[in-house]
Amino acid sequence: NAGVMQNPRHLVRRRGQEARLRCSPMKGHSHVYWYRQLPEEGLKFMVYLQKENIIDESGMPKERFSAEFPKEGPSILRIQQVVRGDSAAYFCASSRGTEAKNIQYFGAGTRLSVL
């Protein structure tokens, strides 16, 4: 049973370009979460999605960031017009549900570097 798959593992962009980060949840999981980890900091929640729906985007910056989880295919975190402050590790997690007993399983992350 494959785990949470994220790609690319490393992404380099110049200021003003777009970054697209992909996440395929574990088999049987329909809940996806995105977190951002800035250097030397913990993970900060960004957004929670179920298939075709954004459930909680309280941690997403209001501009330039968007996320989707289409009926078919991976979840995508999209950052438009990247700036140096977007450089971070972005982690995706998935779970079967949101009850306390449902554990979030994490991918290996995408490390975004903005030049």
Partner 1 sequence: GDSVTQMEGPVTLSEEAFLTINCTYTATGYPSLFWYVQYPGEGLQLLLKATKADDKGSNKGFEATYRKETTSFHLEKGSVQVSDSAVYFCALGNTGTASKLTFGTGTRLQVTL
- Kindly state the DSSP code that residue 94 receives in the 8-state scheme: E
- Closer to partner 1 at the Cβ: 19 or 33? 33
32 near partner 1 (CB under 8 A):
no
Cis ω before 25 (30° cut-off from 0): no
112 near partner 1 (CB under 8 A):
no
- Closer to partner 1 at the Cβ: 76 or 89? 89
Q: Structure tokens of 45? A: 């929640």
45 near partner 1 (CB under 8 A):
yes
71 near partner 1 (CB under 8 A):
no
CB 89 within 8 A of CB 110: yes
